[in-house]
């Protein structure tokens, strides 16, 4: 990469951020445009664009740090729980894998997911499940 991405610059210490976790494989910092105060972004140090591209050797450190951050927003900020999410390509404002950990409290105003829900037509659920099973067995 000629121009390192924003998150790579944060990881390298070239861009300011409120870092909350700094470990050999991952870094976590506050989102500058948080859904709620304490909204954290967890990134692998290595430039990886999406979750499917995350190397096997980084899966456990990444997920384990995500678990600790989900606990930390409860213990450290008094949240009742958290919303944890990853966008892959679509809605991914920075093309570097990042896990959102958003502190939640009952009545905070966030309603379910950020997108509208839909329903399956007759037989569609079975078709989609079969397509996913096929893709998983071939992958």
Q: Which residues pair with 85 in a beta bridge?
A: 100
22-72 tens-digit pLDDT:
999 999 999 999 999 999 999 999 999 999 999 999 999 999 999 999 999
pLDDT recorded at residue 3: 63
Q: What are phi and psi of 133, to 5 degrees?
A: -60, -45
pTM: 0.87
Mean pLDDT, rounded, for 106-117? 75
Query: Which domain CATH number covers 52?
Result: 3.30.428.10
Q: Report the C-alpha dihedral over residues 121, 124, 125, 130, rounded to 10 degrees.
A: 180
User: Do the domain assignments include residue 1?
Assistant: no
Q: Is 90 exceeded by the pLDDT of residue 139?
A: no
How many structural domains are present in the chain? Answer: 1
CA angle (70, 129, 97) in 5-degree steps: 35
Domain that holds residue 78: 6-138
Give me the pLDDT at residue 64, please: 97
Tell me if 105 is assigned to some domain. Answer: yes
95 CB-near residues (< 8 Å, 6+ apart): 5, 49, 89
């Amino acid at each position: 990469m000629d121009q390192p991405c924003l998150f790579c610059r944060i990881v390298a210490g070239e861009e300011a951020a409120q870092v909350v976790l700094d470990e050999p494989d991952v870094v976590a910092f506050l989102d500058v445009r948080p859904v709620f105060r304490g909204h954290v972004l967890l990134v692998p140090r290595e430039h990886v664009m999406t979750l499917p591209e995350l190397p096997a050797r980084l899966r456990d450190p990444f997920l384990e740090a995500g678990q600790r951050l989900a606990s930390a927003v409860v213990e450290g900020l008094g949240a009742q729980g958290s919303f944890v999410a990853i966008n892959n390509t679509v809605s991914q404002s920075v093309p570097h894998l990042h896990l959102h950990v958003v502190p939640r409290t009952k009545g905070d105003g966030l309603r379910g997911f950020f997108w509208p829900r839909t329903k399956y037509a007759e037989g569609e659920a079975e078709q989609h499940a079969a397509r996913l099973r096929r893709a998983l067995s071939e992958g």
